[in-house]
């Protein structure tokens, strides 16, 4: 039996980064996906009542980014340099904040038309595009996001940009360095295989 069990809903959302890290690290894990209808009962059994959680031995670890960081250490995808490691944490927090803004719009009471308008006129210009401009500069002339090696920061970017169509941005054509980086990350054999075989879900 795998040493780790990731429990989440049948979505990519807050758990997908952990799945990419385990896959890239070639670390076996159980990818348990809870059906929405089973959640009210299951919720009572999860300390904190939120997903994802990672089951490690008798412990239940909450919070997607804490889980990602733990998995990345196991997968040797955290740089030894503390400052570089902190820059990856900052990147992960930035992506997390962007996604939180996106979910705020998606879960709001607005009509679908109003949501699309808010995405296009507020969310993209305020939260996404400035970050993409900065990342484009950062990645120009660089192999990876920090250090000379692949880290979980690169995987976090890969996960984020693989879902651009959620924001109605369908490609990275205007960002050549981001595009090249994305292609490199998604061509890593284990990530490529995961992208080809993972469950197809709406988000
Ligand atoms: N900060 C937490 C957020 C966890 C969270 O809000 N999870 C949502 C799904 S994305 C959830 O469990 N919702 C079901 C509920 O609250 O009953 C994390 O990143 O793990």
Kindly tell me if the per-residue pLDDT of 4 is higher than 90.
yes
**Do residues 55 and 100 share a domain?**
no
- Report the atom number in ligand 1 closest to the C-alpha of 43: 17
Mean pLDDT to the nearest integer, 22-50: 97
Q: What pLDDT sits at residue 169?
A: 81
Which two structure tokens, joined as six digits, stand for 51?
Answer: 């997903």
Q: Cα(67) to centroid of ligand 1, in Å?
A: 13
Considering the domain boundaries, does residue 203 fall inside one? no
- Report the atom number in ligand 1 closest to the C-alpha of 67: 20
**Do residues 147 and 184 share a domain?**
yes
3-state secondary structure of 150: coil
Torsion of CA 70, 76, 82, 84, to 10 degrees: -110
**Do residues 92 and 184 share a domain?**
yes
* Ligand 1 neighbour 64 (Cβ under 6 A): yes
Considering the domain boundaries, does residue 131 fall inside one? yes
pTM reported for the whole predicted model: 0.96
Considering the domain boundaries, does residue 141 fall inside one? yes
Q: Cα(52) to centroid of ligand 1, in Å?
A: 7
Q: Cα(162) to centroid of ligand 1, in Å?
A: 21
Kindly tell me if the per-residue pLDDT of 45 is higher than 90.
yes
On the 0-12 / 13-18 / 19+ scale of CB atoms within 10 A, 156 is buried
pLDDT per position as a tens digit, 27-40: 999 999 999 999 99
Q: Cα(121) to centroid of ligand 1, in Å?
A: 27
pLDDT confidence bin for 173, thresholds 50/70/90: confident
Domain of residue 117, residue span: 82-188
pLDDT confidence bin for 167, thresholds 50/70/90: confident
* Ligand 1 neighbour 51 (Cβ under 6 A): yes
The CATH number assigned to the domain holding 130 equals 1.20.1050.10
**Do residues 154 and 179 share a domain?**
yes
* Ligand 1 neighbour 50 (Cβ under 6 A): yes
pLDDT per position as a tens digit, 125-138: 999 999 999 999 99
Percent of the chain past pLDDT 90, that is, above it, reads 92
Q: Cα(16) to centroid of ligand 1, in Å?
A: 13
Q: What pLDDT sits at residue 108?
A: 96
Q: What pLDDT sits at residue 11?
A: 96
pLDDT per position as a tens digit, 6-20: 999 999 999 999 999
User: CB-based contacts of 58: which residues, under 8 Å, 6+ apart?
Assistant: none
**Do residues 113 and 170 share a domain?**
yes
Considering the domain boundaries, does residue 202 fall inside one? no
**Do residues 159 and 100 share a domain?**
yes
Q: What pLDDT sits at residue 165?
A: 82
The protein residue with its alpha carbon nearest to ligand 1, atom 10, reads: 14
**Do residues 89 and 178 share a domain?**
yes
């Amino acid at each position: 039996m795998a040493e780790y069990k990731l429990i989440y809903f049948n979505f990519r959302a807050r758990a997908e980064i952990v799945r990419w890290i385990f896959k890239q690290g070639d670390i076996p894990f159980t990818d348990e996906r809870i059906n929405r209808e089973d959640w009210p009962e299951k919720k009572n059994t999860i300390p904190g009542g939120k997903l994802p959680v990672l089951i490690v031995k008798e412990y239940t670890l909450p919070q997607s980014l804490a889980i990602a960081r733990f998995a990345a250490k196991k997968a040797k995808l955290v740089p030894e340099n503390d400052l570089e490691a902190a820059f990856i944490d900052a990147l992960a927090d930035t992506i997390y904040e962007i996604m939180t803004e996106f979910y705020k719009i998606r879960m709001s009471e607005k009509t679908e038309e109003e949501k699309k308008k808010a995405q296009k006129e507020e969310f993209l210009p305020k939260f996404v595009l400035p970050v993409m401009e900065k990342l484009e500069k950062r990645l120009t002339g660089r192999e990876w996001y920090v250090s000379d090696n692949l880290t979980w920061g690169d995987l976090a970017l890969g996960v984020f940009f693989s879902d651009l169509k959620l924001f109605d941005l369908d490609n990275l054509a205007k960002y050549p360095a981001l595009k090249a980086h994305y292609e490199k990350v998604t061509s890593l054999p284990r990530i490529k295989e995961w992208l080809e075989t993972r469950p197809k879900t709406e988000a």
